[in-house]
Amino acid sequence: GRIATQNAKNVILQKIREESRKSQLSEWQCKEKEVVTGIVQRYIGRNVSVDLGKIDAILPEAEQVKGEVFQRTERIKVYILEVKDSPKGPRISVSRTHPDLVRRLFEAEVRDGTVEIRAIAREAGSRTKIAVSSTDPNVDPVGACVGLNGARVNAIVNELRGEKIDIINWDDNPAFLIENALSPAKVISVVADEDEKEAQVIVPDYQLSLAIGKEGQNARLAARLTTYKIDIKSETQARELGLFDDMDFGEEGFEGEYEKDVEPAEDGTPAEETSETQAETEE
């Protein structure tokens, strides 16, 4: 009869919709923690609706970079945070602030598999530090990430709308890793305590502000990158506290410590004046 036929039709359509939803959910769950390209649809309050093709995702206000404004039909790359099931289909949350967004962008640019991103620290919209290593001794991991004439890193900086990216070499020795993480500041010595996860760093007087960074950003990112609590002292402060008295730098030094000398510039300009100018320029 007509009623039985209609009921059968409704049941079949319902089953098809359920299977389609399950298939779609499974497809997007496989893309969790990956970067995809989407098209900005519209603002929903302060959240942004992003078209990912067959489905829309939500970019919450908390996952947006401060100061970023999107235009309709603009193409952006987003990191898939989470895929949840709902009666209306998969509900996808995406991010523009997650540190792994930068990681995935670099992995997409450097596809040869020899370069590995060992650690990453990010303050979205401002600055990111990443530590990289290479499985091939003949490959420079930093150079591979930067690319020819900076092509690779510039493509990522443009995608992140001018966010600064510091790429450093990973080192299994925590003292050398901390020195690299504090770049572009120069370091005199580092004493790292692996048990307490603390490090005492001494820098030249004229490098102190550069090592700490604007509003402490450089030191903060270095601490996140290395997972060490970093205490930075200037050379003058270290001498006043007697920190140099406890250090015995032999020819080899000893684990967790090393010493570097500051040399004057080639043109005869005192090292302090030259470095102050460099520090101001770099800041």
Per-residue pLDDT of the chain (283 residues; tens, 9 = 90+): 899 999 999 999 999 988 888 888 888 889 889 999 999 999 999 999 999 988 899 999 999 998 889 999 999 999 999 998 887 778 899 999 999 999 999 999 888 778 999 999 999 999 999 999 999 889 999 999 998 899 999 999 999 999 999 999 999 999 999 999 999 999 999 999 888 899 999 999 999 999 999 999 999 999 999 999 999 999 898 888 877 766 654 433 334 443 444 443 444 444 444 334 344 444 4
Q: What single string gives the DSSP state of each residue in the chain?
A: -HHHHHHHHHHHHHHHHHHHHHHHHHHHHTTTT-EEEEEEEEEETTEEEEE-SSSEEEE-GGGSPTT----TT-EEEEEEEEEE--TTS-EEEEESS-HHHHHHHHHHH--SS-EEEEEEEEETTTEEEEEEEESSTTS-HHHHHH-GGGHHHHHHHHHTTS-EEEEEE--SSHHHHHHHHTTTS--SEEEEETTTTEEEEEE-GGGHHHHH-GGGHHHHHHHHHHT-EEEEEEHHHHHHHTTGGG----SS-BTTB---PPPPPTTS--HHHHHHHHHHHH-
Which pTM value belongs to this model? 0.77
The predicted pLDDT at position 113 comes to 79
The predicted pLDDT at position 247 comes to 60
